Structure 1
Amino acid sequence: MNAVVVRYGEIGTKSRQTRSWFERILVNNIREALISEGIGYKEIVARHGRIIVKTNEAEKATEVLARVFGIVSLSPAMEVEASLEKINKIALRLFRRTKRSLSLERPRFRVTARRITKELPLTSVELQAKVGEYILEHEEAEVDLRNYDIEVGIEVMEGKAYIFTEKVKGWGGLPLGTQGKVVVLLSGPNSALAAFLMMKRGVEVIPFHVKESEEELENVRVLWRKLKRYAYGGKGELVVAEVPKEKMIEKAVELAKDFGAKGIVSGRRAEKLTEALGDALIEENAKCPLPIYYPLIALPKEYLEGVRKRAGL
């Protein structure tokens, strides 16, 4: 593999000017992720609703980039000249490799093709048929468009074809750094999850912890190290203070002003939304000159547990 095809979703719904700005930040975050993880690359290009990362470490890069917010899916791919002969050969090679890895005698497969630009004279449907026929001529297999074991994907753009058999799910959301900064009251798993969900919406977080014991502080440091695996593009580092609990919000506001943050994030959760809870939140916000956000407050427990498990928090 010599490339990674990166797809994004929500960014594509923005105006052209806004989309270009979001793309630039996403490319910078991708670059930071690769550099920080020691993965070499030749070029990163954003065109036609795709970002192409040219690298000889495509599988390793895909694993890292799946943690970059704003990315919906990725595919380690082979980039070749967009001619039917070369597409056929690479598609067959990747099909065989996947067939071996799955230990299948007669796999069911399908070919999906998309011409993002139209240099290739074949239509997408014609290309799918031609590549499928070529695979059937050289391998024991059968076409099944619904219940397939292997999907050979082809995307054609600017004279190049990107061929792959894997599509890795990303987190989606917005690129980190596009939605300002907040201070997160980081104290345990719930507040870490709240920070994660804010990061997923493009917000850079400054983690703030009020130290009560060395053991608790070490647990928070572990949580922050886990969160930093998703913080490509962010510059925040854990800030620790030894102040009375009743001074926590006051100190967080000072920190927010120092960093230019626009709010404070709490990990507060509630099994049930009640009038008493609403009154408590109103009172809490009335005492704070900045808005306090509660990302977990009304989300289903099953959803939060799913996110926590997948994110490793």
Structure 2
Amino acid sequence: MKSNLIIVRYGEIGLKAEYTRKQFENILIKNIKSSLKSEKISFNIKQTRGRIYVHTDQIKTACNILKKIFGIISVSPVAHTISDIDYMEKLAIEIADEQFSENMSFALKVTRVGIHKFTSRDVAIRLGDSIVKKTGASVDLTNPDIILNIDIREKDAYFYFDKIYGVGGLPLSSQGNVLAVINDEKSIFAAWYLMKRGCNTVFALSNNSIRGLLEDFIKNWYAKKIIYVVKNNDYKKFKEIISYNQCDAIVVGYFVDDLTLIKKLKEKTHLPILAPLLSMKIDKVKQDCKKIGSTI
């Protein structure tokens, strides 16, 4: 299916109150623009309630970027037409002629937002019947070989096959600033958890041997590169960094065995200490690190 349009979906943002939702949407769009520009992707963006649309000829590359932007739960390359049933039927036949064959089974999944002269069932029946006549493919609503999704929203209709799942969470910069104490790979993973919750992260690196890994991580997740080199026990420098960057908390990659270190850091800095890995097992951390492109 030829496409130069991507639907971008977000989840948690849509649950916010109207004013907050608009703020978060604007931040997410800003992050999308910044990330795509950093990879030299040509694009245009359109927004409607609950959806963001990215127009680009570099679909595959753009999808790989978008799925790593915090706040996005999924993306789909789509074909677009107007929400007139004749136009939708024409596009469905074109897509099916390219993708379906007579020995395949298929199902249509139709969703609809807005007021129309037809129901979702009406669309599924008419388009499904036309596809069967054109391709010889059979309808199977239980276990189809392929599912064609049709998302009808007001005056537009979008056709797609796949959902590419994103990282979810909240957009970077939608929350406050945190200082991440980086002394090993697992502390990078701890920082990732706070980034996923929308926090701008300032990195205090105490182990220069993993600087390259940290820089790759920052680039891979389209975060701001703010790195300070600090010795583990240089609490004066920690306080200077915290004050300058207006950090609200400190994130560490400590486990339950490191409670003494957490207590000491809190006493010296007078800030909340966030330890997202505290109750996790090392095997679980190793497994999850691989998912974000890091290793321990």
Provide the TM-score with structure 2 as the length reference: 0.89
CA change 1:302–1:130 in 2 (3 A) is: farther
| Matched position secondary structure for 2:150 | strand
Displacement after TM superposition at 1:261 (Å): 1.4
- 1:75 maps to 76
Displacement after TM superposition at 1:187 (Å): 2.5
The counterpart of 2:147, out of the listed 140, 148, 151, is 151
For residues 78-89 of structure 1, the aligned pairs below 5 Å read: 78-89=79-90
Q: Distance in 2 between matches of 1:29 and 1:256?
A: 24
- 2:126 maps to 130
Displacement after TM superposition at 1:186 (Å): 1.6
Residues 196 and 227 of structure 1 are in contact (CA less than 8 Å); yes or no, is this contact kept in structure 2?
Answer: no
After superposition, the C-alpha distances for 1:130-159 in whole angstroms (9 at most, x for unaligned) are 222222111232222232221111112231
For residues 229-244 of structure 1, the aligned pairs below 5 Å read: 229-231=220-222, 234-241=223-230, 243=231
| Matched position secondary structure for 1:263 | strand
- 1:106 maps to 103
Displacement after TM superposition at 1:185 (Å): 1.2
Q: Check if 1:21 corresponds to 2:23.
A: yes
Residues 48 and 116 of structure 1 are in contact (CA less than 8 Å); yes or no, is this contact kept in structure 2?
Answer: no
- 1:48 maps to 49
The unaligned stretches of length 5 or more in structure 2 are: none
| Matched position secondary structure for 2:64 | helix
The counterpart of 2:11, out of the listed 3, 9, 12, is 9
- 1:91 maps to 92
Q: Identity across aligned pairs (percent)?
A: 30
The unaligned stretches of length 5 or more in structure 1 are: none
For residues 255-274 of structure 1, the aligned pairs below 5 Å read: 255-270=241-256
CA change 1:291–1:278 in 2 (3 A) is: same
Q: Distance in 2 between matches of 1:164 and 1:157?
A: 14
- 1:184 maps to 180
The counterpart of 1:36, out of the listed 22, 35, 38, is 38
Q: Check if 1:117 corresponds to 2:114.
A: yes
- 2:238 maps to 252
Residues 98 and 150 of structure 1 are in contact (CA less than 8 Å); yes or no, is this contact kept in structure 2?
Answer: no
How large is the Cα RMSD of the aligned pairs? 2.2
CA change 1:138–1:199 in 2 (3 A) is: same
The counterpart of 1:222, out of the listed 213, 216, 226, is 213
Displacement after TM superposition at 1:95 (Å): 3.8
| Matched position secondary structure for 2:277 | coil
**Structure 1 residue runs of 4 or more that deviate by more than 6 Å after TM superposition:** none
After superposition, the C-alpha distances for 1:21-52 in whole angstroms (9 at most, x for unaligned) are 1111111111111111111113x222221111
Residues 156 and 162 of structure 1 are in contact (CA less than 8 Å); yes or no, is this contact kept in structure 2?
Answer: yes
| Matched position secondary structure for 1:179 | coil
Residues 218 and 224 of structure 2 are in contact (CA less than 8 Å); yes or no, is this contact kept in structure 1?
Answer: no
Which letter maps to 2:111? R
Q: Distance in 2 between matches of 1:134 and 1:300?
A: 54
Q: Distance in 1 between matches of 2:277 and 2:35?
A: 27
Provide the TM-score with structure 1 as the length reference: 0.85
CA change 1:50–1:258 in 2 (3 A) is: same
